């Protein structure tokens, strides 16, 4: 059996749709990953073969003022899962982030590149990686700029703002790869299926700035919105973010024979699914 933790979250929902076979999903009401007892009780009862951990404290700016909670959930919580998966001989699949990098390299980051998180969120996710690496049979999947159905994300924020105003400023000096949770879920499924272990990068192909991404979202939605470029310094958010955090996904292609579709095509598919589901 495959167990998805954080199954009601944005990525968790798509994983529940995509993972094949006997799959069970749990969330905060069934398991608190910060509690070793809660984790051990559930895993020893269910005895899954694979545990995919999507549970996390994902509010990047919120983490800056809640350091202790971020470290507990994103770091020690993974340590609890690693100990319990080790005890039952299960594989731990841990989701991580491009925010473990400082964004100064200037070319896409490989799995072995030096990490240097700029934010509390990035530090807490890095601690989670270390916990998984040290204590369990693990597969760490780093990804970035996620959007998907039922989640709080950039695409949904832009579409909401489109109904409220006629112009918007969006940062144009952060570069990454917007990634659809459905495509990422397929990649995770392939990595598990191919018995991959260690660390992998997985994101939709191609790169853009948030400014370019916003323009594409409004274009796909057929909405007239004036998008103005803004710098990260002007936006002045609590958490520092890497300016160039593109992930090199060549290892995923090499080991699992998979290349995710381009971010623009993925966005188009997502928007089509949205309108089929009656969302505007």
Ligand X SMILES: NC(=O)c1ccc[n+]([C@@H]2O[C@H](COP(=O)([O-])OP(=O)(O)OC[C@H]3O[C@@H](n4cnc5c(N)ncnc54)[C@H](OP(=O)(O)O)[C@@H]3O)[C@@H](O)[C@H]2O)c1
Torsion angle in degrees (nearest 10) through CA of 194, 101, 208, 63: 100
Least CB distance to ligand X at residue 22 (A): 21
The two structure tokens encoding residue 118: 């700029």
Specify the residue, 166 or 237, whose C-beta has the smaller distance to ligand X.
Answer: 237
Least CB distance to ligand X at residue 149 (A): 11
Q: Segment near ligand X (CB under 6 A), from 49-57, 163-171, 211-219, 242-250?
A: 49-57
Specify the residue, 119 or 144, whose C-beta has the smaller distance to ligand X.
Answer: 144
- Residue 9 binds ligand X (CB under 6 A): yes
- Residue 11 binds ligand X (CB under 6 A): yes
| Contacts to ligand X from residues 16-35, by CB under 6 A | 27-28, 31-34
End-to-end CA distance of the chain: 37
Cβ proximity of 2 and 54 under 8 Å: no
Residue the block writes with tokens 């076979």: 21
Active site residue 121: yes
Task: Determine which one of 121, 147, 200, 270 is catalytic.
Answer: 121
Task: Work out which of 62, 110, 151, 229 binds ligand X, going by CB under 6 A.
Answer: 151
Residue the block writes with tokens 């983490």: 63
- Residue 81 binds ligand X (CB under 6 A): no
Task: Work out which of 146, 249, 260, 267 binds ligand X, going by CB under 6 A.
Answer: 146
Cβ proximity of 140 and 129 under 8 Å: yes
The burial of 235, by beta-carbon neighbours within 10 Å (0-12 exposed, 13-18 middle, 19 or more buried), is given as middle
Give Cα separations from 252 to 2, 146, 244, 246 (angstroms): 21, 18, 20, 15
- Residue 97 binds ligand X (CB under 6 A): yes
Pairing of strands 146-147, 198-201: unpaired
Task: Work out which of 16, 42, 56, 266 binds ligand X, going by CB under 6 A.
Answer: 56
Strand, helix or coil for residue 251: helix
- Residue 73 binds ligand X (CB under 6 A): yes
Residue nearest to ligand X (CB): 9
- Residue 55 binds ligand X (CB under 6 A): yes
Torsion angle in degrees (nearest 10) through CA of 230, 205, 193, 146: 20
Q: Among 173, 172, 174, 176, which residue's Cα sits nearest to residue 229?
A: 172
- Residue 78 binds ligand X (CB under 6 A): no
Least CB distance to ligand X at residue 42 (A): 10
Interaction site with ligand X (CB under 6 A)? 6, 8-12, 27-28, 31-34, 54-58, 73, 77, 95, 97, 125, 143-146, 151
Residues with catalytic annotation? 121
């Amino acid at each position: 059996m495959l167990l998805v933790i954080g199954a009601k979250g944005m990525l968790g929902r798509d994983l529940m749709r995509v993972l094949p076979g006997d799959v069970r999903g749990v969330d905060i009401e069934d398991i608190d990953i910060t509690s070793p007892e809660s984790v051990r009780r559930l895993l020893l009862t269910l005895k899954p073969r694979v545990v995919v951990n999507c549970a996390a404290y994902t509010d990047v700016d919120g983490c800056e003022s809640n350091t202790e909670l971020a470290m507990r959930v994103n770091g020690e919580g993974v340590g609890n899962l690693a100990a319990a998966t080790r005890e039952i001989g299960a594989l731990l699949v841990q989701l991580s982030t491009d925010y473990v990098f400082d964004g100064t390299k200037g070319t896409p980051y490989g799995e072995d590149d030096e990490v240097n998180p700029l934010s509390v969120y990035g530090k807490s996710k890095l601690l989670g990686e270390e916990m998984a690496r040290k204590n369990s049979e693990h597969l760490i999947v780093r990804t970035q700029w996620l959007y998907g159905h039922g989640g709080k994300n950039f695409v949904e924020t832009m579409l909401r703002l489109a109904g409220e105003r006629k112009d918007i400023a969006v940062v144009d000096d952060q570069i990454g790869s917007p990634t659809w949770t459905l495509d990422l879920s397929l990649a995770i499924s392939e990595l598990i299926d191919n018995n991959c272990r260690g660390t992998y990068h997985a994101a939709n192909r191609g790169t853009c700035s948030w400014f370019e991404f916003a323009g594409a979202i409004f274009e796909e939605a057929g909405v007239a919105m004036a998008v103005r470029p803004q710098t990260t310094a002007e936006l002045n958010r609590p958490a520092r973010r890497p300016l160039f955090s593109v992930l090199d996904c060549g290892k995923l292609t090499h080991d699992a024979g998979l290349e995710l579709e381009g971010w623009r095509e993925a966005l188009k598919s997502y928007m089509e699914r949205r309108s089929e589901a009656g969302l505007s």
